[in-house]
């Protein structure tokens, strides 16, 4: 069942173009200059009940603007938008009863009060029945031991604890649809893992549709079955995560710090690696105080262990970093036809 | 019907809990309001001493003190920082969290504001009154007028809140209301009788001022309490004028919010 439907959704912003310097500022006061920014440009998509969809793009791609239109706080410039047959910005008060929202750098909890006071307020606001409320608190407690945090004022929680509470609060009224905007922003790996587990578990228990905004590839790989990629306000890919993973999930960037290689000419190393392993990008060799070698491989073609063995035999390797591919690169590839 | 308002009650409760979190805020609120009051007392005493007569503009010194202290305690009672909170939420983008909740933005702000009024009442108004009756030996004749006063005060609060709220809404356009809010405070202080009793103004100006909503916040409730000569007709006129201001401002704000929400751009992230 389709629950979200967007047709050519577009949002333009008129922004003040500030001039530089003191004189410019004074000019701005009296004769402001505006320019039009296309934040979201003709986006169409459909989302079904129960899906976890990753809504992905680099900073400033228009993700948050789209989300703001979907949750009914921004009015689209043009295009159609229907969620559960509501027109979000028109029927906001009725519509928002059905959704939950978590926004990474905002809080819906009362800053100065204990967490439980915010939960009690949400209970009244959404008119949650005692039974549902108790049941949810029970689930939170069972899976995440949240009750330890209930009496702490929100301002004294750590970033990770706060995020767990925010997500718990968003699920409290059993919404059918949840928007998570950068839920793992600024968290360390261990806490990220916890937050992802919370999201997956709650999705399983409650069958909630989740629309997840992020620019962290790790979030997407672990949480989503489908991704929607946008850049510069335009939709550039919408489809199965498997296809996406097939190409980008296998890419790894290796960075190695090498010991002395004075006796071997650099060009010959490059050639040798290129011939044997066929890296996806040209090898970068930086020689300053330390020598750093960077190469990106596709794990489907080349076993990581083989290349490490090869390099370890040739050089004395001091340090190794293995990284997943960055979102910016993925987008470049998509433009170049990587998913076609 | 009642169930629908339970959420606003909880907002009020949380808002009271919030203010009481900070103990120093509490102590300094009391100290600053008492200081302010003491300064006023001596200012007006020196005005009366230097004028050489016991009655100025038809008011005796004790009457002026009662009037001014009542006006000031209403002023601090209604100081709920509504417009500041609204503008801060607009600038930071936190407003989004209000807009995604299934409640009325106006009612939620009103509920929050009532929480502050409760705090102000117990921490500022009551200490000032105790001071007024014990240290400065003022007298007010209480009777049925206390009931009228309470009723009038509730209406006055709605007017005061509505003015704050509409100023808060202007920050949807301007993003900052520092200047506007300060101007509002000065205008209200000068034109409402908080700084100088309205009877000290020339007759024609006094007449105009009494027509403005500012007088309905301060002058009318105080008059119901301290003027023993009022008849039924006077009360009717006062309440009708207050009620019409409440209706006008609520209607205006409803319309204003509908307009303002269209231009809102949510900042950040």
Q: Do the beta carbons of residue B85 and residue B112 sit within 8 Å? A: yes
* Whole-complex ipTM: 0.86
Residues A121, B10: C-beta atoms closer than 8 Å: yes
Residues A74, B9: C-beta atoms closer than 8 Å: no
Nearby residues of B55 by Cβ (< 8 Å), 6 or more positions away: none
What confidence score (pLDDT) does residue A1 get? 81
- The 10 Å Cβ neighbour count of residue A273 is 20
State the number of CA atoms in the 13 A half-sphere of A154 facing the CB. 20
State the number of CA atoms in the 13 A half-sphere of B6 facing the CB. 13
Residues A121, B266: C-beta atoms closer than 8 Å: no
| B100–A contact, CB cutoff 8 A | yes
What confidence score (pLDDT) does residue B141 get? 76
- The 10 Å Cβ neighbour count of residue B86 is 24
The dihedral over CA atoms of B225, B133, B218, B145, expressed in degrees to the nearest 10, equals -10
- Give first-to-last CA distance, chain B, whole Å: 38
Segment (H or E) for A215: none
> Distances from the Cα of B5 to the Cαs of A11, A127, A130, B2, B116, in angstroms?
36, 11, 17, 5, 18
Integer Cα distance of B155 and A252 in angstroms: 68
In angstroms and rounded to an integer, the radius of gyration of the C-alpha atoms of chain A is: 24
Strand order in the sheet with A209-214: A99-103, A177-181, A209-214, A52-56, A226-231, A234-240
Q: Do the beta carbons of residue A237 and residue A244 sit within 8 Å? A: yes
Domain ranges of chain A: 2-247, 250-335
Mutate to test the interface with B, among A68, A130, A173 (most CBs of B within 10 A): A68
Residue of B nearest to A122 (CA): B7
Would the CA dihedral through A233, A238, A242, A248 be positive or negative?
A: negative
User: Strand A251-258 relative to strand A284-287: parallel, antiparallel, unpaired?
Assistant: unpaired
Nearest beta carbon to residue A113 from set B14, B96, B262: B14
CA angle in degrees (0–180, nearest 5) for A168-A84-A222: 45
CA angle in degrees (0–180, nearest 5) for A54-A198-A110: 95
What confidence score (pLDDT) does residue B112 get? 94
Q: Is the pLDDT of residue B262 over 60?
A: yes
- Is residue A93 classed as helix, strand or coil in its secondary structure? helix
Distance from CA of B246 to the nearest CA of A (A): 25
Q: Is the pLDDT of residue B15 over 70?
A: yes
Q: Cβ contacts (< 8 Å) between B266 and chain A: which residues? A: 68, 73-74
Give A34's strand partners.
Answer: A16
Mean pLDDT estimate for chain B? 88
Q: Do the beta carbons of residue B149 and residue B143 sit within 8 Å? A: no
Quick: pLDDT tens for B24-45: 877 888 888 888 888 888 998 9
What confidence score (pLDDT) does residue A264 get? 62
- What 8-state DSSP symbol labels residue A19? P
- The 10 Å Cβ neighbour count of residue A112 is 18
Integer Cα distance of B218 and B239 in angstroms: 13
> According to DSSP H, which parts of A18-176 are helical?
21-30, 63-70, 92-95, 115-125, 130-144, 159-171
Integer Cα distance of B161 and B234 in angstroms: 25
Count of A-B CB contacts under 8 Å? 79
> Distances from the Cα of B192 to the Cαs of A199, B14, B24, B238, in angstroms?
55, 31, 30, 15
Length of chain A: 340
Q: Cβ contacts (< 8 Å) between B10 and chain A: which residues? A: 120-121, 124-125
What confidence score (pLDDT) does residue B245 get? 96
Burial of A129-138, coded b for 16+ CB within 10 Å and e otherwise, reads eeeebeebbe
The answer to whether domain A2-247 and domain A250-335 are alike in fold is no
Integer Cα distance of A171 and A186 in angstroms: 22
Domain ranges of chain B: 2-263
Segment (H or E) for B253: helix B232-263
- Is residue A340 classed as helix, strand or coil in its secondary structure? coil
What confidence score (pLDDT) does residue A329 get? 73
Q: Name which residue leads in pLDDT, B217 or B1.
A: B217
* Nearest of A40, A123, A100 to residue A75 by alpha carbon: A40
Q: Is the pLDDT of residue B211 over 90?
A: no
Question: What long-range pairs does A127-131 form, CB within 8 A, spacing at least 24?
Answer: A127/B3, A127/B7, A128/A172, A128/A173, A128/A174
Integer Cα distance of A196 and A191 in angstroms: 9
Mutate to test the interface with A, among B6, B100, B103 (most CBs of A within 10 A): B100
> Distances from the Cα of B205 to the Cαs of A56, B67, B221, in angstroms?
63, 19, 20
Show pLDDT as tens, one digit a residue, over chain A (340 residues): 888 999 999 998 877 777 788 888 888 788 888 888 888 999 999 999 888 999 888 888 888 889 989 998 888 889 999 999 899 988 988 999 999 999 877 888 998 999 999 999 999 999 999 999 999 999 888 877 888 999 999 999 998 889 889 989 999 999 999 999 888 888 888 888 888 888 888 888 888 999 998 877 778 878 888 989 888 888 888 888 877 777 666 777 888 887 766 666 666 777 777 777 777 666 777 666 777 878 777 777 777 888 888 878 777 788 888 877 777 777 777 777 666 5
Q: Do the beta carbons of residue B106 and residue B257 sit within 8 Å? A: yes
B residues 46-85 lying closer than 8 A (beta carbon) to A: none
Fold for domain A250-335?
A: Alpha-Beta Plaits (3.30.70)
Q: What is the CATH number of domain A2-247?
A: 3.40.50.300
Q: How much of chain B exceeds pLDDT 70, in percent?
A: 98
């Amino acid at each position: 069942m389709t629950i979200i439907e967007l047709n050519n959704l577009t949002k333009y912003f008129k922004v003040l173009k500030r001039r530089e310097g003191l004189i410019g500022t004074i000019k701005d006061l009296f004769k402001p200059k505006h320019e039009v920014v296309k934040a979201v440009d003709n986006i169409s998509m459909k989302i079904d009940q129960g899906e976890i969809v990753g809504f992905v793009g680099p900073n400033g791609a228009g993700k948050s603007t789209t989300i703001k239109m979907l949750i009914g706080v921004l009015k689209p410039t043009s295009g159609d938008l229907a969620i559960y047959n509501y027109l979000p910005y028109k029927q906001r008060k009725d519509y928002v009863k059905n959704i939950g929202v978590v926004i990474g750098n905002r809080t819906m909890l009362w800053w100065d009060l204990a967490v439980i006071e915010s939960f009690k307020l949400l209970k009244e606001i959404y008119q949650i029945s005692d039974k549902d409320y108790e049941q949810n608190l029970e689930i939170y407690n069972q899976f995440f031991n949240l009750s330890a945090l209930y009496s702490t004022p929100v301002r004294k929680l750590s970033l990770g604890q706060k995020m767990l509470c925010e997500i718990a609060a968003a699920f409290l009224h059993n919404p059918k649809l949840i928007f998570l905007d950068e839920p793992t922003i600024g968290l360390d790996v261990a806490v990220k893992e916890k937050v992802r587990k919370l999201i997956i578990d709650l999705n399983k228990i409650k069958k909630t549709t989740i629309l997840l905004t992020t620019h962290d590839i790790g979030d997407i790989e672990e949480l989503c079955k489908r991704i929607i990629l946008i850049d510069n306000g335009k939709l550039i890919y919408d489809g199965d995560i498997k296809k996406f993973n097939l190409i980008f999930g296998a890419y790894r960037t290796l960075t190695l710090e090498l010991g002395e290689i004075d006796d071997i000419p650099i060009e010959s190393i490059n050639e040798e690696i290129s011939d044997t392993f066929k890296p996806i990008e040209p090898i970068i060799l930086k020689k300053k105080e330390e020598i750093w070698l960077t190469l990106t491989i596709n794990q489907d073609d080349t076993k990581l262990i083989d290349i490490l063995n090869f390099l370890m035999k040739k050089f004395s390797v001091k340090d190794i970093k293995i990284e997943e591919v960055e979102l910016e690169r993925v987008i470049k590839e998509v433009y170049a036809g990587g998913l076609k | 019907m009642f169930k629908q308002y339970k959420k606003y009650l909880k907002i009020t409760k949380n808002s009271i809990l919030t203010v009481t979190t900070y103990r120093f805020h509490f102590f300094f609120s009391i100290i600053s309001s008492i200081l302010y009051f003491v300064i006023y007392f001596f200012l007006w005493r020196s005005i009366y001493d230097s004028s050489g007569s016991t009655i100025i503009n038809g008011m005796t010194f004790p009457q002026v003190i009662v009037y001014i202290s009542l006006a000031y305690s209403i002023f601090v009672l209604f100081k709920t920082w509504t417009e500041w909170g609204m503008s801060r939420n607009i600038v930071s983008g936190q407003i989004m969290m209000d807009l995604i909740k299934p409640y009325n933005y106006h009612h939620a702000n009103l509920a929050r504001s009532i929480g502050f009024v409760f705090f102000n009442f117990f921490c500022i108004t009551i200490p000032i009154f105790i001071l007024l009756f014990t240290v400065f030996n003022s007298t007010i004749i209480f009777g049925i007028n206390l009931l009228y006063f309470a009723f009038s005060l509730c209406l006055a609060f709605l007017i005061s809140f509505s003015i704050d709220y509409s100023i808060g809404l202007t920050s949807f356009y301007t993003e900052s209301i520092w200047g506007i809010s300060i101007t509002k405070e000065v205008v209200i202080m000068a034109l409402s009788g908080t700084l100088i009793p309205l009877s000290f103004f020339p007759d024609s100006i006094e007449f105009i001022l009494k027509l403005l909503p500012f007088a309905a916040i301060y002058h009318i409730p105080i008059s119901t309490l301290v003027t023993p000569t009022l008849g039924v007709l006077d009360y009717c006129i006062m309440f009708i004028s207050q009620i019409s201001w409440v209706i006008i401002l609520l209607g205006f704000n409803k319309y204003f919010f509908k307009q303002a929400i269209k231009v809102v751009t949510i900042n950040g992230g």
